[in-house]
Amino acid sequence: MEVRVQNIRKEFGRYPALEDVSLDIRSGELVALLGPSGSGKTTLLRLIAGLESPTEGTIFFGDEDASKKSVQQRNIGFVFQHYALFRHMTVLDNVSFGLNVRPANRRPQAAEIRRRALDLLELVQLSGLEKRYPAQLSGGQRQRVALARAMAVEPNVLLLDEPFGALDAQVRKELRKWLREIHDRTGHTTVFVTHDQEEALELADRVVVMSKGAIEQVGTPDDIYDHPVSPFVYGFIGQSNCLDVTLSRGEIWFEDRPIGLRAASEPDGPATLYFRPHDIELVDGCGCLAGLVTAGRRVAGTRHLEVSLGRTQPPVEIELPPERASSTDHSRVAFRPTRWKLYRGAGDVARGSVQAQSSGIELAPTGT
Amino acid sequence: MALDIGPTPTSAPSTPVGAATSETRLARATLIALALGFVGLFLLLPLGTVFIEAFRKGAGEFLAALGDPETFSAILLTLTVAGIAVPLNLVFGVAAAWAIAKFEFKGKAFLTTLIDLPFSVSPVISGLVFVLLFGANSALGPILQSYGVQILFAVPGLVLATVFVTFPFVARELIPLMQEQGTSDEEAARSLGATGWQTFWHVTLPNIKWGLLYGVLLCNARAMGEFGAVSVVSGHIRGETNTMPLQVEILYNEYNFVAAFAVAALLALLALATLVLKTALELRYSDEIAASRRH
Amino acid sequence: MAPRARIRWQSRQPSVIPGFGLALGVTLTWLTLIVLIPISGLLWRSSGLGWANFFALAFDERTVNALAISFGTAFVAAIVNLVFGVILAWVLVRYRFPGKRVIDAMVDLPFALPTAVAGIALTTLYAPNGWIGSLLEPLGIKIAFTPAGIVVALVFVGLPFVVRTVQPVMEEIDKEVEEAAATLGANRLQTITRVLLPGLLPAGLTGFALAFARGVGEYGSVIFIAGNLPYVSEIAPLLIVIRLEEFNYAAATAIATVMLFLSFLMLLVINTIQSWSRRRYSNGA
């Protein structure tokens, strides 16, 4: 079922948790809400669920206004970070719970409830464990029970709050792949919250990047990574470097020299240059960024170099194939970004103000 | 004053969503009324009755009742018995908690159960066992008697019965507390060259002092208020072996209600003082007092 | 045999912390002197009675009646305490209202107030001319000097047990669990009866058993209000005292042994409930 969030505002006391958020989630889509803690992503999820009610705004499930409905009436499936399994019930009773509490006229026969619950346990690969109690399961198994329990009510939308947050790295990776498979098989409209960008980019059809109670960007993982619309997204997703630069007659200057990048339509003045460590090429001679390699470490198939460009700037990080970088250790290196972006105004990522995105401009990569 | 019966903080005011994890106003009010009614009927009303009855004929009668020499000797006896029994159980409680919380040994669980045993024995039986041990038709009684040692119907018997009844209090408070604190502090002290006693006085004792006080408080309240066990061993010799609770019974059975309630009021004041101290300790040092609130 | 016995009481792991021998020595000596010898004395005296004599004394009509009254009234009082104890704990944990702190502190009153004081106060209240007794009398309800009076006294004595065992468990209920039930469509009543209360069952049962055990052995608060009519409102501990006053040590010993045995049984039940719930539910966050 399609879910539309329209101009939602939510305040806790006087503290605004969400400010004028709108979002369309298409039917059958797998959407990630991604952001640092305090960005409002969990609040948004709980508003969709009906566990919180908005201060202002509406939420539509299909064409129906769901904001007036209680959480019980919305028929959603919610998976909690800490599973929230009923510990005095067996796995089977946990999964059947949503069907068992239905009013008599909508409740399936006992045998039918059992059959459905067992089917779901098979789907989440827990067949044979139906008589166990939650305390007798591992963390990963508990989370799968929680998912089966949420799916048992045939929800309009499946909502997951940091579903893998409490699990260790190995189990996380497995469950991530497995959740994608389940989604592809069942086709539930699914929204999950995460602060792990890798998880969001790997799993989701579309990623919603949030910061400070607002949506920064909505897009496919490729969009988000390749075309970040704001310094916040650039800084939050993947690795990035930022440099204070100056624009002068369409040319980008770093400290006292031009670096061979052009932004012809931009007026003169200070700006911030963003580029990812792997989006660079080594060049000879001048008209580029150059500095001393201060540290280098090998990470799997690439070598990461820390380069000190000037006294006033923190070092930047670049990534090179190991064979090209070996000779440049502890020496001078000259390079030029191949994909980059320029932001005007309050460009610092750490202070990443939202207004900065309005003056951000995308420039065609030069060189390549 | 308007009754504020909101749910405990965190949840937002009455939105339709509040219904997810809280009850309707009516249900809340009903439950609070039931709980308060129950507490009022079974706790507050009896407590109030004690003081009302004690002062039924005015403060003069109340004071006169307390000035009675028999009552006075009962007060003295109660203080004596508690004054002996509580320190004995204090030493025992610390020793037991030290052994059980700081060391691993076989039979530890069994030992813990044995320490709890007096809690599950009827007070009357707690007195009876000493009557059987030291009574006239026992093996020990006549022998001790021939040496002029009187246990039953005398202070030693009262102390024994009281020690038995209050046996677990201090140990029970300290064991969970000391288990939670572990042994690393003591190990650190030892590694820095402290002797065993120095470790205990300067490291362990400061860590457990509030828990210890808490246990002593409960132990003392029970020691001064015990009725069944001391009733069996006391012999009810007026002015000699009657503790305050026994004096209450005697006065009450003689229809001397004002005097009975006057002594009862003193004991009730002791109970209230215990509760106030206990609550104050819980509020200020809750993390330094055993987490288990069971008794 | 001797070396094995020594090993049993040695600390399993060598420890730098001193005083194991001293502490355990004091503990065992004191435990033996104060608890073990006296209780063994009772059992030894009881065994000296011989089976036939023991059964005759322990199960004569008056004794059986007294035991039935003790256990019956303690059971009813524990049920009352279970129901109201859970409500009281719920109200104290979940709601705020004026005087909550005081009420919370007052719950422990029965632990602190001497039983004899409680006994005479309750008797005064529930006697036919007392505040509550005079209200009930026109309705034909008699509390004091009947088994109902015993129940009232035992409700007072056992009141803190259920509250204090259930309260900490209630405080730790994860809010997510309630939200989970709501998202699955359960209304508030279903969430409480199917999810929250079953989770409190082990704690509730433990509190119930503790209140019950305490009620069975209770003496001081009961004898004033009970009326102490043989076969009607005479409790087992009182019968022990009566037999003692008659110098009938054999009968007193026999009744005490039966009660002691039943107390141990209840202790066992309590421990079983706790270990069962620990095994099944712990770590089940």
What structural domains does chain A harbor?
A: 3-226 (3.40.50.300), 239-358 (2.40.50.140)
Mean pLDDT over A35-58 rounds to 91
Q: Is C225 contained in some domain?
A: yes
Q: Which two tokens stand for residue B63?
A: 């004071």
Q: Is C124 on the interface with B (CB under 8 A)?
A: yes
Q: Is B11 contained in some domain?
A: no
Lowest mean pLDDT among A247-261, B9-23, B67-81, C31-45: B9-23
Lowest mean pLDDT among A137-141, B197-201, B234-238, C61-65: B234-238
What whole-number distance in Å separates Cα of residue B171 and Cα of residue B159?
18
What is the number of CB-based contacts under 8 A between chain A and chain B? 19
Q: Is B289 contained in some domain?
A: yes
Q: List, in sequence order, every residue forming a beta bridge with A24; answer none if it has no partner.
A: A4
Mean pLDDT over B272-287 rounds to 88
Q: B17 CA to chain A: closest CA distance, Å?
A: 6
What whole-number distance in Å separates Cα of residue A272 and Cα of residue A266?
13
Under an 8 A CB cutoff, do B21 and C241 touch?
no
Q: Is B2 contained in some domain?
A: no
Q: Are strands A158-161 and A190-194 parallel, antiparallel or unpaired?
A: parallel
What whole-number distance in Å separates Cα of residue C28 and Cα of residue C198?
40
Over the stretch B46-87, which tens digit does the pLDDT of each residue have?
Answer: 999 999 999 999 999 999 999 999 999 999 999 999 999 999
Distances (CA, A) of C167 to A281, B32, C163, C203: 66, 15, 6, 9
Task: Report which of residues B76 and A301 the model is more confident about.
Answer: B76
Q: Which two tokens stand for residue A78?
A: 């919610």
What whole-number distance in Å separates Cα of residue A154 and Cα of residue A71?
15
What whole-number distance in Å separates Cα of residue A282 and Cα of residue A337?
9
- pLDDT (0 to 100) of residue A128: 92
The residue whose two tokens read 């005697």 is B250
Q: B235 CA to chain C: closest CA distance, Å?
A: 10
- pLDDT (0 to 100) of residue C93: 94
Task: Report which of residues A63 and B52 the model is more confident about.
Answer: B52
Q: Are C142 and C40 members of one domain?
A: no
Q: Is B268 contained in some domain?
A: yes
Q: Are C91 and C221 members of one domain?
A: yes
Q: Is the pLDDT of residue B43 over 50?
A: yes
Q: Are B182 and B210 members of one domain?
A: yes
What whole-number distance in Å separates Cα of residue C62 and Cα of residue C242?
12
Q: Are strands A269-275 and A302-308 parallel, antiparallel or unpaired?
A: unpaired
Q: Are B39 and B82 members of one domain?
A: no
Q: Are strands A302-308 and A316-320 parallel, antiparallel or unpaired?
A: antiparallel
Q: Are B167 and B266 members of one domain?
A: yes
- pLDDT (0 to 100) of residue C84: 97
Confidence of residue B290 (pLDDT cuts 50, 70, 90): low
Q: Is C58 contained in some domain?
A: yes
What whole-number distance in Å separates Cα of residue C247 and Cα of residue A253?
111
Q: Is the pLDDT of residue B15 over 80?
A: no
- pLDDT (0 to 100) of residue A280: 86
Mean pLDDT over A68-79 rounds to 90
Mean pLDDT over A271-290 rounds to 83
Q: Which residues of A touch C186 (CB under 8 A)?
A: 72, 97-98, 101
Are the C-beta atoms of residues A365 and A339 closer than 8 Å to each other?
A: yes
Interface with C, mutate which of B78, B88, B132 (most C CBs under 10 A): B132
Q: Are B63 and B43 members of one domain?
A: no
Distances (CA, A) of B118 to A161, B129, C73, C265, C270: 50, 12, 22, 14, 15
Are the C-beta atoms of residues B93 and B171 closer than 8 Å to each other?
A: yes
Q: Is A214 on the interface with B (CB under 8 A)?
A: no
Of B43, B128, B232, the CB nearest to C42: B128
Instruction: Enumerate neighbours of C (3 or more CB pairs within 8 A).
Output: A, B
Q: A45 CA to chain C: closest CA distance, Å?
A: 13
- pLDDT (0 to 100) of residue B19: 54
A-chain residue closest to C201, CA distance: A88
Q: Which residues of B touch C95 (CB under 8 A)?
A: 5-8, 28, 31-32
A-chain residue closest to B10, CA distance: A12
What whole-number percentage of chain C has pLDDT above 90?
74
Lowest mean pLDDT among A214-218, A292-296, A308-312, C152-156: A308-312
Of B39, B106, B248, the CB nearest to C117: B248
Provide the chain C residues 51-70 that lie in CB contact (below 8 A) with chain B. Answer: none
Q: Domain of B74: which CATH number?
A: 1.10.3720.10
Under an 8 A CB cutoff, do C97 and B3 touch?
yes
Confidence of residue A349 (pLDDT cuts 50, 70, 90): very low
Lowest mean pLDDT among A264-273, B68-77, B235-244, C142-151: A264-273
Q: Is B133 contained in some domain?
A: yes
Q: Is B250 contained in some domain?
A: yes
Buried b (16+ CB within 10 A) or exposed e, A350-363: eebebebbeebeeb
Q: Are B223 and B82 members of one domain?
A: yes
Domain limit, last residue, from C9, C32, C49: C49
A-chain residue closest to C175, CA distance: A84
Q: B94 CA to chain C: closest CA distance, Å?
A: 8
- pLDDT (0 to 100) of residue A345: 65
Over the stretch B140-190, which tens digit does the pLDDT of each residue have?
Answer: 888 888 888 888 899 999 999 999 999 999 999 999 889 888 888 888 998
- pLDDT (0 to 100) of residue B122: 94
Domain limit, last residue, from C8, C33, C49: C49
Q: Is C103 contained in some domain?
A: yes
* Short-list C62, C235, C44, CA closest to C153: C235
Q: Are B46 and B69 members of one domain?
A: no
Q: Is C15 contained in some domain?
A: no
Confidence of residue A257 (pLDDT cuts 50, 70, 90): confident
Q: Is A153 on the interface with C (CB under 8 A)?
A: yes
What's the predicted TM-score (pTM) here?
0.85
Under an 8 A CB cutoff, do C125 and B46 touch?
yes
> Cα A160–A166–A172 angle (5° rounding)?
80
Q: Are C62 and C191 members of one domain?
A: yes
Under an 8 A CB cutoff, do A52 and B16 touch?
no
Lowest mean pLDDT among A188-192, A273-277, B72-76: A273-277
Q: C91 CA to chain A: closest CA distance, Å?
A: 22
Of C185, C195, C198, the CB nearest to A75: C185
| DSSP annotation string for C8-61 | HTS-SS--S---HHHHHHHHHHHHIIIIIHHHHHHHHHHHTT-HHHHHHHHTSH
* Short-list A66, A36, A330, CA closest to A197: A36
Q: Are C30 and C148 members of one domain?
A: no
Q: Which residues of B touch C124 (CB under 8 A)?
A: 49, 53, 257
Structural domain including B282 reads 58-293
Q: Is C41 contained in some domain?
A: yes
Under an 8 A CB cutoff, do C180 and A134 touch?
no
Interface with A, mutate which of C174, C175, C184 (most A CBs under 10 A): C184
Q: Tell me, what amino acid is at A123?
A: L
Q: Are C127 and C32 members of one domain?
A: no
Instruction: Enumerate neighbours of A (3 or more CB pairs within 8 A).
Output: B, C
Under an 8 A CB cutoff, do C116 and B124 touch?
no
Task: Report which of residues B128 and A239 the model is more confident about.
Answer: B128
Q: C261 CA to chain B: closest CA distance, Å?
A: 10
Distances (CA, A) of A108 to A101, C12, C89, C195: 11, 58, 36, 21
Q: Is B16 on the interface with A (CB under 8 A)?
A: yes
| DSSP annotation string for C131-155 | HHHHHHGGGT---TTSHHHHHHHHH
Question: Taking all residues of chain A, what is their mean pLDDT, rounded to a whole number?
Answer: 85
Q: Are C275 and C234 members of one domain?
A: yes
Which distant-in-sequence residues (6+ apart) come within 8 Å of C97 by Cβ?
A: B3, B4, B5, B32, C91
Q: Which two tokens stand for residue A45?
A: 């999820």
Domain limit, last residue, from C49, C67, C91: C49
Q: Is the pLDDT of residue A348 over 80?
A: no
Tell me how far the alpha carbon of residue B210 is from its chain's centroid: 16
Under an 8 A CB cutoff, do A70 and B12 touch?
no
Q: C254 CA to chain A: closest CA distance, Å?
A: 42
Q: Is A12 on the interface with B (CB under 8 A)?
A: yes
Q: Is C7 contained in some domain?
A: no
- pLDDT (0 to 100) of residue A220: 95
Of B39, B95, B245, the CB nearest to C220: B245
Confidence of residue A150 (pLDDT cuts 50, 70, 90): very high
Are the C-beta atoms of residues A148 and A92 closer than 8 Å to each other?
A: no
Q: Is C5 on the interface with B (CB under 8 A)?
A: no
Q: B20 CA to chain C: closest CA distance, Å?
A: 6
Q: Which two tokens stand for residue A240?
A: 């990035």
Q: Are C223 and C273 members of one domain?
A: yes
What whole-number distance in Å separates Cα of residue B80 and Cα of residue C277?
44
Are the C-beta atoms of residues C196 and C242 closer than 8 Å to each other?
A: no
Are the C-beta atoms of residues A51 and A78 closer than 8 Å to each other?
A: yes
What whole-number distance in Å separates Cα of residue A212 and Cα of residue A190?
23
- pLDDT (0 to 100) of residue A127: 92
Q: A156 CA to chain C: closest CA distance, Å?
A: 12
Q: Are strands A257-262 and A251-254 parallel, antiparallel or unpaired?
A: antiparallel
Q: Are B31 and B73 members of one domain?
A: no
Are the C-beta atoms of residues A266 and A362 closer than 8 Å to each other?
A: no
Under an 8 A CB cutoff, do A72 and C283 touch?
no
Tell the burial category of A72 from Cβ atoms under 10 Å away from its Cβ (0-12, 13-18, 19+).
buried
Looking at the 3D structure of chain C, how many domains does it have?
2
Q: Is A213 on the interface with C (CB under 8 A)?
A: no
Identify how many contiguous H helices and E strands chain A contains and give both numbers.
10, 21
Confidence of residue C238 (pLDDT cuts 50, 70, 90): very high
Q: Is the pLDDT of residue B119 over 90?
A: no
Lowest mean pLDDT among A196-205, A269-278, B127-136: A269-278
> Cα B224–B229–B231 angle (5° rounding)?
85
Q: Are C86 and C40 members of one domain?
A: no
Confidence of residue A244 (pLDDT cuts 50, 70, 90): confident
- pLDDT (0 to 100) of residue A326: 60
Confidence of residue B266 (pLDDT cuts 50, 70, 90): very high
Q: Is B15 on the interface with A (CB under 8 A)?
A: yes
Are the C-beta atoms of residues C93 and B32 closer than 8 Å to each other?
A: no
Q: Are C129 and C43 members of one domain?
A: no
Structural domain including C76 reads 53-284
Under an 8 A CB cutoff, do B248 and C34 touch?
no
Q: Are B48 and B165 members of one domain?
A: no
Provide the chain C residues 160-219 that lie in CB contact (below 8 A) with chain A. Answer: 174, 176-177, 179-187, 190, 194-195, 198-199, 201
Confidence of residue C282 (pLDDT cuts 50, 70, 90): low
Q: Are B196 and B95 members of one domain?
A: yes
Q: Is B12 contained in some domain?
A: no
Reduced to 3 states, what is the DSSP secondary structure of residue A213?
coil
Q: Domain of C182: which CATH number?
A: 1.10.3720.10
Reduced to 3 states, what is the DSSP secondary structure of residue B228?
helix
Over the stretch B28-41, which tens digit does the pLDDT of each residue have?
Answer: 999 999 999 999 99
What whole-number distance in Å separates Cα of residue A84 and Cα of residue A66?
24
Q: Is the pLDDT of residue B11 over 60?
A: no
Q: Are C99 and C119 members of one domain?
A: yes
Q: Is C12 contained in some domain?
A: no
Q: Which two tokens stand for residue B241?
A: 């072996």
Q: Which two tokens stand for residue A86?
A: 């009923």
What is the number of CB-based contacts under 8 A between chain B and chain C? 332
* Short-list A39, A50, A41, A1, CA closest to A163: A41
Are the C-beta atoms of residues A243 and A280 closer than 8 Å to each other?
A: no
Q: Tell me, what amino acid is at C269?
A: V
CB atoms within 10 A of CB A148: 27
- pLDDT (0 to 100) of residue A1: 85
Mean pLDDT over A114-122 rounds to 94
CB atoms within 10 A of CB B224: 27
Q: Are C123 and C263 members of one domain?
A: yes
Lowest mean pLDDT among A72-86, A147-161, A233-247, C54-68: A233-247
Q: Are strands A214-219 and A30-34 parallel, antiparallel or unpaired?
A: unpaired
- pLDDT (0 to 100) of residue A294: 83
Are the C-beta atoms of residues A129 and A135 closer than 8 Å to each other?
A: no
Q: Are B48 and B88 members of one domain?
A: no
Over the stretch C7-47, which tens digit does the pLDDT of each residue have?
Answer: 445 555 667 788 888 999 999 999 999 999 999 999 999 99
Q: Are strands A77-79 and A64-65 parallel, antiparallel or unpaired?
A: unpaired
Query: CA dihedral defined by C98, C100, C105, C111, rounded to 10 degrees?
Result: 110
Over the stretch C171-201, which tens digit does the pLDDT of each residue have?
Answer: 988 889 999 999 999 999 999 999 999 989 8
- pLDDT (0 to 100) of residue A292: 84
C-chain residue closest to B116, CA distance: C267
Mean pLDDT over A103-107 rounds to 91
Q: Is A72 on the interface with C (CB under 8 A)?
A: yes
Q: Are B183 and B42 members of one domain?
A: no
- pLDDT (0 to 100) of residue B9: 43
Q: Are C226 and C140 members of one domain?
A: yes
Looking at the 3D structure of chain B, how many domains does it have?
2
What whole-number distance in Å separates Cα of residue B63 and Cα of residue B262?
8
* Short-list A266, A223, A265, CA closest to A245: A266
What whole-number distance in Å separates Cα of residue C213 and Cα of residue B294?
14
Under an 8 A CB cutoff, do C180 and A84 touch?
yes
C-chain residue closest to A106, CA distance: C185
Which distant-in-sequence residues (6+ apart) come within 8 Å of A136 by Cβ?
A: none
Q: Are B128 and B215 members of one domain?
A: yes
Q: Is B251 contained in some domain?
A: yes
